[in-house]
Structure 1
Amino acid sequence: MTEIDGFTRVCGLIGLPVAHSLSPLLHNYAYSRLGLNYRYLAYPVQPDDLQPALRGLTALNFSGVNVTAPHKEAVIPFIDRLDPVAAATGSVNTICCREGKLEGYSTDGEGFLWSLQEEGNYVSAGKSVLLLGAGGAARAVSYALAAQGINSLTILNRSEHRANSLAEKLQALFPSLSLKAALLTTGSVKCYLPQVSLIVNSLSGDPWPWEEMAASFYEGTLVYDLRYSLCRTGFINWAEKSGAKVLNGLGMLLAQAALSFELFTGVEPPFKLMKKVLTEVNC
């Protein structure tokens, strides 16, 4: 890795919490292998400190930052320019600092689709999907799936109002998409499980012990947990024991990180090397 000096460009991750993140590992490994004079750090940012933190990015000449929960939606009022996907989804996971301005992008959806297709061998068009959660990641993923031509989407969330709000936004963008929104309960999950071929969990935490809930899946159902804990989550264990195919969010992390890397540096990411370093990290 190059030595830090007065020309070193700084990138990072803002969110809360961020200590668990693998993004610094991925980005710094890629910088090192390509000999780029960049560093990537994780910055825990409280919600009340979000605006001054964003102002500091341009003042300190950051190259850019990734954005994770709980800030993916909250950053939008402070962004000078949004790319079309970020504007449509209402979610930003990548901010670039250019000419004193903040530019917001959403690479989550594209990263999710790469993982879904390459790792899950799943074709979205014409399928029925159940989405758990309605936050920033859920917005990006649901938009990406709708753009791929899914037939129906059911959104379950702990706040029914947020589920309805996301459904209304998607309906305006995709009038032919069959949409439902409801409160997340064990009853609503059990009701919709047999009706879909893809279940996406975007919840930051488990609403109940999944292992205690009996499940009946449609044959061949793929269950995707957007969380990328290297240890298996209770959600993943429950789904697999109930007969579903499972994926966690490591593939999505990899793909969205590669897209962000290119936005920050203007250099093609060493995708295979970044993938290799992820496979070498053990629980």
Structure 2
Amino acid sequence: MKMALAVLGDPIAHSLSPVMHEAAFAHLEMDAGYLPLRVEKENLPEALEGLKALNFTGVNVTIPHKVAVMELLDEVDERARKIGAVNTIRQEGGRLYGTNTDGEGWYRSLVQDYGKEPRGEDVLLIGAGGAARAAAHTLREKGCGRLVIANRTPEKAALLAEETNAEVMTLEEAASSLDQFQLLVQSTAAGMSPGIDVRPIDTTGLHPGIFVSDMIYNPWKTALLQDAEKAGCRFQNGLGMFVHQGAAAFEFWFGRTAPAEIMENAVKNALRT
């Protein structure tokens, strides 16, 4: 019997998750399929019941359902509870189990491109939304040093800082303090298409000793990353995070190693077309 998986969201037509996971299934010769399913907010409870009735193996969850879905599941793991969102669900025996692979996916990508784990290093995190929450909690789990959060809304930064034993700076303070950090993590929508000229902070203070991780991958190189390149910084975009969160979801569903390189190549090919 063919295993059925999906991604739930609204909108959903733009999602590259089907391309990525179908490539993994084909490579491993798995009898499985992956569908993009548009689900409006008010229909989310019925959609989850439908997944159980149709015996779906699992689903990914994207905007705008990551928070709302939590109260509809039978069990949510500690990682997802800390982050406050679920992006991956496994179905077993009519019960739905939720986790969040965003933080782990981003961290795997960071270590791959940075060449090491940032244990004990000082990190500036820009943003305080869902992606920032995933990164902040993961950084704390993995043993980063000083963690500073800068956000357009200081109140949201303060709440996340309290949860993760971090400090808070304004965006202006952060921009003038870049020489204090070894790692800059950008988790907001600043620089995303169509606003490709937007920068989350003033980049004048960028220096070669700071690694810049921008979670955006469309455009491929944001204005922030262009400035980082000019300043002699090493950097990464968000493609690796997308691929590795998908790989971690695959492992949550099937209990086996995901073919991350195959998945990454499939996404790159889709972005080129």
Q: For the superposition of Structure 1 and Structure 2, which TM-score range results when normalised by the shorter chain?
A: 0.7 to 0.9
- The match for 2:16 is 22
Choose which of 167, 172, 183 in structure 2 pairs with 1:180.
167
The share of aligned pairs that are identical, in percent, is 37
Choose which of 134, 153, 156 in structure 1 pairs with 2:150.
156
- The match for 2:210 is 221
8 Å contact kept, 1:107–1:256: yes
Query: What is the CA distance between 1:25 and its match in structure 2?
Result: 1.0
In the superposition, relative to structure 1, how do residues 46 and 204 fare at CA in structure 2: closer, same or farther (>3 Å)? farther
Secondary structure at the aligned position of 1:199 is classed as: strand
Q: Answer yes or no: is 1:100 the counterpart of 2:94.
A: yes
- The match for 1:9 is 3
8 Å contact kept, 1:211–1:238: no
- The match for 2:254 is 265
- Name the CA distance, whole Å, in 2 between partners of 1:242 and 1:62: 48
Which digits, 9 at most, give the CA deviation of each residue in 1:152-206, with x for residues without a partner?
11112233222222112223xxxxxxx11245x4x24413322211111111344
Q: Answer yes or no: is 1:204 the counterpart of 2:181.
A: no
Q: Answer yes or no: is 1:235 the counterpart of 2:229.
A: no
- Name the CA distance, whole Å, in 2 between partners of 1:211 and 1:88: 25
8 Å contact kept, 1:128–1:150: yes
Q: What are the ranges of 5 or more consecutive residues in structure 1 without an aligned counterpart?
A: 1-6, 172-178
- Name the CA distance, whole Å, in 2 between partners of 1:181 and 1:49: 38
- Name the CA distance, whole Å, in 2 between partners of 1:272 and 1:120: 17
Which digits, 9 at most, give the CA deviation of each residue in 1:25-72, with x for residues without a partner?
110011122222211122333444433333332233221111223333
RMSD over aligned Cα atoms = 2.5
8 Å contact kept, 2:208–2:231: no
Which digits, 9 at most, give the CA deviation of each residue in 1:241-275, with x for residues without a partner?
33322101211222221221122234432334324
- Name the CA distance, whole Å, in 1 between partners of 2:62 and 2:228: 25
Q: How many residue pairs align between the two structures?
A: 268
Scaled by the length of structure 1, the TM-score of the pair is: 0.83
Q: What are the ranges of 5 or more consecutive residues in structure 2 without an aligned counterpart?
A: none
Secondary structure at the aligned position of 1:257 is classed as: helix
- Name the CA distance, whole Å, in 1 between partners of 2:138 and 2:66: 16
In the superposition, relative to structure 1, how do residues 230 and 212 fare at CA in structure 2: closer, same or farther (>3 Å)? closer
Choose which of 81, 87, 90 in structure 1 pairs with 2:81.
87
Q: How does 1:46-61 map to 2 (within 5 A)?
A: 46-61=40-55
- Name the CA distance, whole Å, in 1 between partners of 2:42 and 2:178: 38
More off after superposition, 267-276 vs 159-168: 267-276
Choose which of 129, 133, 143 in structure 1 pairs with 2:127.
133
Q: Answer yes or no: is 1:118 the counterpart of 2:103.
A: no
8 Å contact kept, 1:92–1:136: no
In the superposition, relative to structure 1, how do residues 74 and 153 fare at CA in structure 2: closer, same or farther (>3 Å)? farther
Query: What is the CA distance between 1:129 and its match in structure 2?
Result: 0.8
8 Å contact kept, 1:193–1:215: no
Secondary structure at the aligned position of 1:203 is classed as: coil
